[in-house]
Chain A
Amino acid sequence: GAVVSQHPSWVICKSGTSVKIECRSLDFQATTMFWYRQFPKQSLMLMATSNEGSKATYEQGVEKDKFLINHASLTLSTLTVTSAHPEDSSFYICSARDLPAGTDTQYFGPGTRLTVL
């Protein structure tokens, strides 16, 4: 099946620094990738939709200047948390759409645990 990887799997950083998280589709091309945030014991909240070659679409309430998304190729999207603060600590999960004819399924990466000190 379709495989999505994320790197790093976990990261600890100091407040005020920036952190980049990579999301890769390993065996398929993904024109669309999604970034989610998950707080402990809660569901996934969609942050933004990343489209290859164009600007990301952010959900209401998500700061586009704080969460920079780049989808430079059909297999790679990156999320950069700029000037991270402790409240940005969370589990970030990406997914990619695999669109063979007649289906529409998202495949999820393993997630990245971000801890901001």
Chain B
Amino acid sequence: AQSVTQLDSQVPVFEEAPVELRCNYSSSVSVYLFWYVQYPNQGLQLLLKYLSGSTLVKGINGFEAEFNKSQTSFHLRKPSVHISDTAEYFCAVSASGGYQKVTFGTGTKLQVIP
């Protein structure tokens, strides 16, 4: 089974400052990794995903994440945040290959301060 840990429940950051949202995972097999964003009272939108290949993954809205197998991490970064980035961010993991259940972290609330 896989598990995901998002250590930070809330991350406040000033507008135009850089941000990193941390995600660590645990798995005994190869994994796929995902970051989703959820705006209030809405479903989840896929930001980016790592399936294989380059460990640096670029997603929508200027976000990127780096897969680090040795540290079992998949931290999400953005060099300059906007007010519109205020939302809940979920890291998720599944075992690779075919249908596998996706496990979500507990989420990190990003609060962008004007």
Please say whether chains A and B are actual partners in one complex: yes
Which residues of A are interface residues toward B (Cβ below 8 A)? 4, 6, 32, 34, 41-44, 46, 49, 91, 93, 95, 97, 102-111, 113
Residues of A within 8 A of B49 (CB): 105
User: Which residue of the partner chain A has the closest CB to B39?
Assistant: A110
Which residues of B are interface residues toward A (Cβ below 8 A)? 32, 34, 36, 41-46, 49, 51, 90, 94, 98-102, 104-107
Query: Cα distance A111–B41 when bound, in Å?
Result: 7
Contact B99 A32 (CB under 8 A): yes
Contact B100 A108 (CB under 8 A): no
Residues of A within 8 A of B98 (CB): 104
Contact B51 A6 (CB under 8 A): no
Q: Is the interface of B mostly helix, strand, loop or mixed?
A: loop
Contact of B51 among A32, A93, A103 (CB under 8 A): A103
Residues of B within 8 A of A93 (CB): 43-44
Extra contacts, 17 of them, besides A95-B44, A111-B43 (Cβ < 8 A), are A4-B43, A32-B99, A34-B102, A42-B107, A43-B104, A43-B105, A44-B104, A46-B101, A46-B102, A91-B41, A97-B99, A104-B94, A104-B99, A104-B100, A105-B34, A106-B46, A108-B43
Query: Cα distance A91–B56 when bound, in Å?
Result: 33
Contact A110 B43 (CB under 8 A): yes
Residues of B within 8 A of A111 (CB): 41-43
Query: Cα distance A110–B34 when bound, in Å?
Result: 18
Contact A108 B32 (CB under 8 A): no
10 A-B pairs with the lowest CB-CB distances in the bound complex, closest first:
A108-B43, A108-B44, A110-B43, A111-B43, A43-B104, A43-B106, A44-B104, A109-B43, A93-B43, A43-B107
Contact B46 A107 (CB under 8 A): yes
